[in-house]
Structure 1
């Protein structure tokens, strides 16, 4: 028996009560195996990244956009590999950070947001500077657990065997 569309509950059209924040951290590898880290004015080192826009933006699209906005480096969304999901709780809000990897043959990052980042630096993964921004440390630990990176507790779900996923339908 089908429901009357006029009196059917609006359960699927009501937005949920916000209780989570969704972001992406981008591990950018160069042709020498180094990764890109930015020095935040607070003193921490971090990966490029940020929030996923609430505009039907895919994780890969958000990674490419954040990389371009923060460093001036341009990559195609199809070249972004999503490798893990990291989940922790900060201040009663579920923080979901998606880990993305982009490989570049070369690149010269620019400081495009000088009010946030003072410098970008290519760094060997075995020589990470300290302190790392907590979400960046969690993402790097999901990427390379053998590095023994200290980070706050988090649930990690590795994503394997999947390429870029198309837009939401």
Structure 2
């Protein structure tokens, strides 16, 4: 009995059923060793970051775009170091957060999305404010496990060449 090959072309072009959200949290560190955190109107402190657009942008490009959109700061994607992938589940959806880091010599962030963030502030690692937004806490803990930051449980995968 002769079998015909299955047509896989439609399988490769149909979008998969959505089951995950992909985002990036950006640790911006200045020349004094402080990190940039924003005060969200919901009461938490968070890193700049957000969703990776489904337009073939890289994680580093998403980090650059989110940083520019949220703070007005301009950095080059080549200077962004992606160091970890974190995975947890929220509301039955897999949440994948990429940890990225970039250093700036001096910078003055601005509130560009006042409906979300009331202020940006440079914070010493010994004085991180609370409460931290869950994904931001996860990214910070992956970046610097020695800080003993409380965060929601997440699976962590270190990125080769990262921290």
TM-score over 0.5 for the pair: yes
Q: 1:52-72, CA deviations, whole angstroms, 9 ceiling, x for partnerless residues?
A: 000001100000000000000
Matches within 5 A, 1:132-151: 132-151=132-151
In 1, the alpha carbon distance for the partners of 2:91 and 2:76 equals 35
Deviation, structure 1 residue 14: 1.5
Unmatched 5+ stretches in structure 2: none
In 2, the alpha carbon distance for the partners of 1:126 and 1:19 equals 37
Unmatched 5+ stretches in structure 1: 163-169
2:7 is matched with: 8
3-state SS of paired residue (2:126): helix
Q: 1:32-60, CA deviations, whole angstroms, 9 ceiling, x for partnerless residues?
A: 00000000001100000000000001100
In 1, the alpha carbon distance for the partners of 2:116 and 2:11 equals 40
Deviation, structure 1 residue 11: 1.6
Query: Where do 4+ consecutive residues of structure 1 move more than 3 Å?
Result: none
Aligned length: 158
In 2, the alpha carbon distance for the partners of 1:160 and 1:32 equals 27
TM-score computed with the length of structure 2 as normaliser: 0.94
2:96 is matched with: 96
Matches within 5 A, 1:67-82: 67-82=67-82
TM-score computed with the length of structure 1 as normaliser: 0.91
RMSD: 1.2
Q: 1:112-150, CA deviations, whole angstroms, 9 ceiling, x for partnerless residues?
A: 000000000000112100000000000000000010000
